[in-house]
Amino acid sequence: MAEQSELAAVSRASQALSVTQLVRRVRDSLEKSFSHCWVMGEISNARQASSGHLYFTLKDAQSAINIVMFRNSAQRLRFKLEDGIEVLVFGRVSVYESRGALQFYAEELEPRGAGALQIALEQLKRRLAAQGLFNAERKRALPFFPRVIGLVTALGGPVGGAGSAALHDMLKIIFSRNPNVHVIISPAKVQGDGAGAEIAAALKALNADGRAEVIVLGRGGGSLEDLWAFNEEVVARAIYASRIPVVSAVGHEIDYTIADLVADVRAPTPSAAAQMVTPVKQELEQQIAQRCSLLCRAMAKNLSGCRERFSGLTRNLKDPRWALRQARQRLDEDARDLIDSARRSLMQRRLRVSSLAQRLRPPRVLLRESRLKVNGLTQALRKSLGPVLREERSRAERLDGRLREAINRCVAIYCEQPPALARRAESAFRQILERQRRRMIELGSRLDSLSPLRVLERGYAIAINRQGGRIVVDASHVHVGDVLDVRVHRGRLRARTLAVMPDAARPRKPDADDTG
C-alpha cells in the first residue's frame, strides 16, 4: 500500500502545473475567447504615469476591471480622462503575469453621450477660465479709425477654402467702407493638423511687426472638427498675449469657440468683423461736414451776440472827459475839506497848549519848593533817627564802662596770681576785648546803614509827588501825568508819570485821603 501511495504521488506531481503555466494558460484562453471587444463603464482612479501610460479602473454597479492604455494610444485622445466619465473602451483582455491579475489593454476610448471633442472643449474652457483668460476687465476697446488692419486667415487651397472665402468677403467690405486703409495679411491654415500652431505663429508675427492697430482672426463656418483649431490652447494663449486688440470672427453666428471667449471682441461673422473695425469713410466725412456746419452757425450766432452786446455797451459808455471833470471836481472838494480839517485840528492843539502853559508853574519855583521839601524830609529823618542814635550810643557807653570795670576787677584779682595765670588772664581779656570791639564796629555799621543817605548810595531814590507834596510809597496814589521830583544820591530829577502799574500781589494800604 505504501508503494502504491508513493507511485500515485509521483504521478500527480508529474501532472501538476506551475503557477506561471497556469497563468499563461488562463491568459491564452482569455485572449482566444476575447481577442478584441468593446467594454462600457465609468472611469475611476485615473492617473497618468511619467512614461505616458494611462491607468484607470472601469466599473459598473457590480464589477470593476483594471485598464491600461499605453502611450501610443493615449496620445491620440482628444480629451483628458477624469473620474466619473462614462466611456466605451476597445481592446483585448489578458492577464498580468507578475500578479496574476486580470487586465484590459485599451487601444481606443470614446466618451458615451457627448463626443470626445466636446468633452475636451469643456475641459479646456474650465481650465482657461480658472486662469483668467476670459475675464472681461482685461479686454480692450477697438480703435475708432484704424489706419492699418491685420488679418489672420487662410489664403486659399483645398484645406483653407472657408478661410479664403472669408478673406475675400473681409477685403471687399473693408475697402468698400474705407479705400485708404492698409491691410496686412498673416496667412495660416484654419483647419487640419498643425492649424492651431500656424494661427498662433501668425498672431505673433503681426505683434512683432507692430504696424497693425487691430487684428481680425477669422474663417467661414463649419463643423466642430473644422473649427477645432480655434479651440486649441496654443491659439488661446497667443490671443491672450497679443498687445494688439483682437477680433474673433470664426464661423457663423451660432458657432462659439474658445478664441471668441479670449478675444477682446467677438464678431458673429467675418463680414461683421470687417464692418466693426472699418468705419464708413463717406459717413465720417458727412458727419464732419455736418458738425462743421453746426460749428460755423454756432460761431456766427455767438459773434452776432457779441456784436450786439458791444453795441449796447458802446451806447451806454459815457464821454471820458465828463468823468474826468467830475473826478477833478471831487478832488478839489476833498482837498478843501482836508485843509479845513487840518486848520481846525491845529487850532484845537494851540488852545490846549495855551491851557497847559497857563497851568505850568515856573521851574525855579518848583525847584525851591522841592528843595524845601527835601530839607524838611531830611530834618524829619534826623529827628526820627536821633533818639535811636542816642540810645545806641548810651548803650555802647554803658557797655564800655561795664566792660572796663570788669577788666579792672579781673586784673586786680589775677595780679596776685602767679605769672602764668596772669598771662592767661591777659590773653583771655584781650580776646574778650577784641570781641566787644568787633561788636561795637558791627553796631556802628548797622546804625550807619539806617541812614537815608546810605540808602540813596545803594541806588535807591525818594520820589515826591508835586501835586500834593507827599513822598510816594504806593503807586496807586500817583495818576498818569503827575510830575514827580526824584531825589537820588547825588542830585535831583524831575519826571512825568506815563503809566501806573501797582503791585497786584500786595494789598493797597489806605492813606489819609482814602480814609477821609
At residue 245, the pLDDT reads 92
Extended beta strands in 83-213, E state: 86-96, 101-111, 148-153, 182-187
19-113: CATH homologous superfamily? Nucleic acid-binding proteins (2.40.50.140)
Q: How far is residue 137's CA from residue 130's CA, in Å, rounded to a whole number? A: 15
Are 63 and 104 in contact by the 8 Å Cβ rule? The answer is: no
Whole-number Cα distances in Å, 110 to 56, 58, 449: 15, 13, 132
One fold for 19-113 and 135-282: no
At residue 149, the pLDDT reads 92
Radius of gyration of the chain measured on its C-alpha atoms: 66
Classified as helix, coil or strand, 314 is helix
Nearest CA among 151, 156, 225 for reference residue 192: 225
Fold of 135-282: Rossmann fold (3.40.50)
Phi, psi of 115, deg, nearest 5: -75, 170
Strand order in 462-465's β-sheet? 470-471, 462-465, 483-487, 492-496
Q: Is 224 exposed, middle or buried (0-12, 13-18, 19+ CB in 10 A)?
A: middle
Q: Is 270 exposed, middle or buried (0-12, 13-18, 19+ CB in 10 A)?
A: buried
Whole-number Cα distances in Å, 258 to 58, 125, 228: 31, 7, 9
Phi, psi of 487, deg, nearest 5: -100, 120
At residue 488, the pLDDT reads 81
pLDDT tens for the 516 residues of the chain, in order = 566 566 555 555 556 766 777 777 777 776 666 667 788 888 778 888 888 888 888 887 778 888 888 888 777 776 677 766 777 788 877 777 777 777 888 887 777 654 455 666 667 677 777 787 778 788 888 888 899 999 988 886 444 445 567 888 888 888 888 888 899 988 888 887 888 888 899 999 999 988 989 999 888 777 766 777 788 888 888 888 889 999 988 877 676 787 888 888 888 888 888 888 888 877 777 888 888 888 888 888 888 888 888 877 777 766 677 777 777 778 888 888 888 888 888 888 888 888 877 776 666 766 777 777 777 777 776 676 667 777 777 777 777 777 777 777 766 666 665 566 667 767 777 788 788 778 877 777 776 666 666 667 777 788 888 877 778 878 777 888 888 888 887 788 888 888 887 765 455 544 444 433
Count other Cβ atoms within 10 Å, centred on residue 172.
12
Domain residue limits, the chain: 19-113, 135-282, 393-450, 462-515
Q: How far is residue 289's CA from residue 295's CA, in Å, rounded to a whole number? A: 10
- Predicted TM-score (pTM) above 0.75: no
At residue 158, the pLDDT reads 43
At residue 448, the pLDDT reads 67
